[in-house]
Structure 1
Amino acid sequence: MNYRHAYHAGNSADVVKHALLIALVRALQLKPGALTLIDTHAGCGLYDLGGEEALRTGEAAGGVLRALADPATELADYRAAVEAVNEQAGAGDTPRLYPGSPRVLAQLLRPQDLLILNEKHPQDAAALRQAMRDTPAAVHRRDAYELWLAMVPPRTARGVVVVDPPYEQTDERARITATLAAAHRKWAHGVTVVWYPLKDRAAHRRWKDQLARLGVPKILAIEHWLYDADQPDIYNGAGLFVVNPPYAFVQDLPPLLSATRKALAPEGHRGSLEASWLTEE
Structure 2
Amino acid sequence: MKHSLLIALVQALQHKPGALTLIDTHAGCGLYDLDGEEARRTGEATQGVLRVLADPDPLLNDYRAVIEAVNAGAEPHVYPGSPRILAQLLRPQDFLILNEKHPADAYTLRGVMRHTSAAVHERDAYELWLAMLPPRTARGVVVVDPPYEQPDERERVTATLAAAYRKWAHGVTMIWYPLKDRSTHWRWKDQLRKLGIPKLLCVEHWLYDDDQPGIYNGAGLYIVNPPYAFTQALPPLLEALRTVLAPEGHRGDITADWLAV
TM-score range, shorter chain: over 0.9
Aligned to 2:235: 254
State the partner residue of 2:161.
180
How far 1:52 sits from its partner (Å)?
2.5
CA shift for structure 1 position 203: 1.1
Aligned residue in 2 for 1:17: 2
Q: Which amino acid aligns with 2:24?
A: D
Quick one: which amino acid aligns to residue 50 of structure 2?
A: L
**Residue from 25, 37, 55 that aligns with 1:40:** 25
Shift of 1:50: 1.0
**Cα distance in structure 2, aligned partners of 1:55 and 1:233:** 20
Q: Which of the numbers 14, 25, 48 marks the counterpart of 1:63?
A: 48
Mapped partners of 1:223, 1:279: distance in 2: 16
Distance (Å, rounded) in 2 between the aligned partners of 1:140 and 1:55: 31
Report the alpha carbon displacement of residue 56 of structure 1 after superposing the two structures with TM: 2.5
1:86-97, aligned counterparts within 5 Å? 86=71, 90=72, 92-97=73-78
Size of the aligned set, in residue pairs, is: 261
- Cα separation, 1, equivalents of 2:122 and 2:49: 28
How do 1:154-169 and structure 2 match up within 5 A?
Answer: 154-169=135-150
**1:237 CA drift (Å):** 0.2
Moved more, 50-59 or 126-135: 50-59
Cα distance in 1 between the residues matched to 2:183 and 2:233: 30
Letter in 2 for 1:59: E
Counterpart amino acid of 1:250?
A: T
The aligned counterpart of 2:249 is 268
Rounded Cα–Cα distance in structure 2 between residues aligned with 1:173 and 1:216: 17
Counterpart in the other structure of 1:8: none
| Aligned residues of 1:220 and 1:279 also touching (Cα < 8 A) | no
- Equivalent position of 1:113 in the other structure: 94
Instruction: Measure the CA separation in 1 of the matches of 2:223 and 2:167.
Output: 17
Unaligned runs of 5+ in 2: none
Kept after mapping to 2: 8 A contact 1:164/1:195: yes
d(CA) in 2 for partners of 1:190 and 1:182? 12
Whichever residue aligns with residue 165 of structure 1, its letter is P
Which amino acid in structure 2 is aligned with residue 239 of structure 1?
G
Q: Which moved more, 1:33-42 or 1:43-52?
A: 43-52
Query: How far apart are residue 140 of structure 1 and its match?
Result: 0.3
Moved over 3 A (4+): none
CA distance in 1: counterparts of 2:43 and 2:251, whole angstroms? 21
1:231 to 212, 216, 235: 212
CA distance in 2, matches of 1:264, 1:55: 18
Q: Name the stretch that deviates more: 48-57 or 71-80.
A: 48-57
Distance 1:279 1:153 in 2: 25
Q: Offset at 1:53?
A: 2.4
| 1:118 counterpart letter in structure 2 | N
Distance 1:25 1:279 in 2: 24
1:40-97: per-residue Cα shift (whole Å, max 9, x none)?
A: 00001011111232222221000000000011111000000100110xxx3x111001
Counterpart CA distance in 1 for 2:159 and 2:137 is: 24
- Is the 1:27–1:249 contact (alpha carbons within 8 Å) kept by the matching residues of 2? yes
Q: For residue 145 of structure 1, what is the aligned residue in structure 2?
A: 126
Q: Take 1:32 and 1:278, find their aligned partners in 2: how far apart are those partners?
A: 30
Task: Flag structure 1 segments of 5+ consecutive residues without an equivalent.
Answer: 1-15
| Letter paired with 1:194 | I
Contact 1:44–1:125 (CA under 8 A) maintained in structure 2: yes
What's the TM-score, normalizing by structure 2?
Answer: 0.99
TM-score by length of 1: 0.92
What is the distance in 2 between the residues matched to 1:246 and 1:147?
24
Between the aligned residues of both structures, percent identity stands at 76
1:85 corresponds to: 70
Q: CA–CA distance in 2 between the matches of 1:224 and 1:158?
A: 28
Aligned mates of 2:13, 2:137 — CA distance in 1: 13
